[in-house]
Amino acid sequence: MTQSTLSPEYSRYGKRNRLDKPELLAPAGSLEKLKFAVHYGADAVYIGGQQYGLRSNADNFSFEEMREGVEFAAKYGAKVFVATNIYAHQEDLDGIADYLRQLEAAGISAIIAADPVIIETAMRVAPKLEVHLSTQQSTMNWQAVQYWKDEGLPRVVLARETTMDEIREMKARVDVELEVFIHGAMCSSVSGRCVLSNHFTDRDSNRGGCCQSCRWKYDLHADEQSVSEPGDNLFTMGSKDLCMIQHLPDLIDAGVDSFKVEGRMKSIHYVATVVNAYRQAIDAYMADPEGYVLRPEWVAEIGKAANRPLNTGFFYTVPGTEEHIYEPEEKPAPYDFAAIVLDYDAATGIATVQQRSHFRPGTEVEFIGPGGRQFAQHITEIFDDEGNPLTVARHPMQKIRLVTAQPVEPFDLMRKRI
């Protein structure tokens, strides 16, 4: 059992302007991912529009898709936020007022912004939009939090470098919502202030174009000559990924209002699996804080979607060399995303799935669903949508029929062991 470290002094102040239950905020790089994030338990999702965001390579949302996403999320009591978090050059600002008005009209609950001009414009022309301060502002002290509260912002998304003790002091001193990243990729530069992408590819990280240059392989040179020996590994400079599922009580006791998962470029399987695990852990803690026990299956689920080795970021200590990845990465996740359940016939026990990665009879798979539903089986026979037997499901998006060992539901996922 994880013990709370909540001090008596903090207990007198720590619940000021605190949400009744921590919000689980999930990434959605597409409309399909939005629906899966909400279905698997996200209280809110953050997306990117086709302008003013920092994920230019994501499948960003049109206004029509935003409206559909808002309508879907509302059925589950969830909200949709839009990242408008670029640092704007002068030419970027053309049309910003109209863009923000259209976000408001689409039913978006809040924008996530860093540039003061975008913040001020939103407050002026789209007053129904909440403005949340982006992590791009690198907020790491309570005085800065107080400044943005005084400017009228109800929420501050803290820098990833903020420590647990600093969060406690912020929440004790300032009556404002705090949002922190609790899972996903970390930048090897402080608060993303990297110019390697600009230098190598002319793609600006702070305008949505990061080329992930810290993940590239590098050689070491001296006087224009490589000093590597034959057989030496090329090295990278990337950080390990963040994971705080084992420390949720500390975050909740510190007063964090919103738990943010990184990953708008990640797969449906990643979003659904990670959200599912954190949803169960948060609900279990809030239902019985004193009797809360971290369940090993939640940690195991996180591992099945992990892209890199995991750590706790800056929450407890400053990461050192051991928290970065220099050698070639070994993918820790032993599973690949294979299919999405579309339908299930209870009379025959046959599920119709949409293929996302090839599989065949004999493949060992797992089915997962919201709330921790899960079972494993070996696939026996598979058929196409017209009932013809198949030796392999090799065509992406193909509809496949197969017998499942237990009932399944639409939105359940099938993954295969590598």
161: nearest Cα among 52, 326, 323, 331: 323
> For the chain, what is the total number of helices (H) and then of strands (E)?
11, 22
CATH number of 335-417: 2.40.30.10
| Tens-digit pLDDT profile for residues 218-265 | 787 777 777 777 766 676 777 788 999 999 999 999 999 999 999 988
Task: Please say if the pLDDT value at position 356 is more than 50.
Answer: yes
List Cα–Cα distances, 264 to 61, 210, 305, 348, in angstroms: 12, 14, 14, 37
Q: Where are the domains positioned within the chain? A: 8-190+238-325, 335-417
| Tens-digit pLDDT profile for residues 372-411 | 999 999 999 999 999 999 999 999 999 999 999 999 999 9
Q: What is the pLDDT of residue 170?
A: 98
Question: Which is more confidently placed, 317 or 8?
Answer: 317
Half-sphere exposure at residue 64, Cβ-oriented, CA atoms within 13 angstroms: 0
Q: How far apart are CA 266 and CA 125, in angstroms?
A: 33
Q: How many CB atoms are located within 10 Å of the residue 21 CB?
A: 13
Q: Where are the alpha helices (H) located in 133-265, listed in sequence order?
A: 142-150, 164-173, 196-201, 248-254
DSSP state of 264: T
Token digits for 282? 């948060």
Token digits for 8? 């008596």
CA max distance for the chain: 73
Q: What is the pLDDT of residue 46?
A: 97
| Tens-digit pLDDT profile for residues 59-98 | 689 999 999 999 999 999 999 999 998 888 898 899 999 9
Label residue 53 by pLDDT band (50, 70, 90).
low
DSSP state of 3: P
The CATH class, in words, for 8-190+238-325 is alpha beta
165: nearest Cα among 381, 2, 6, 380: 6
pTM, to two decimals: 0.89
Task: Please say if the pLDDT value at position 9 is more than 60.
Answer: no
Token digits for 168? 């406690």
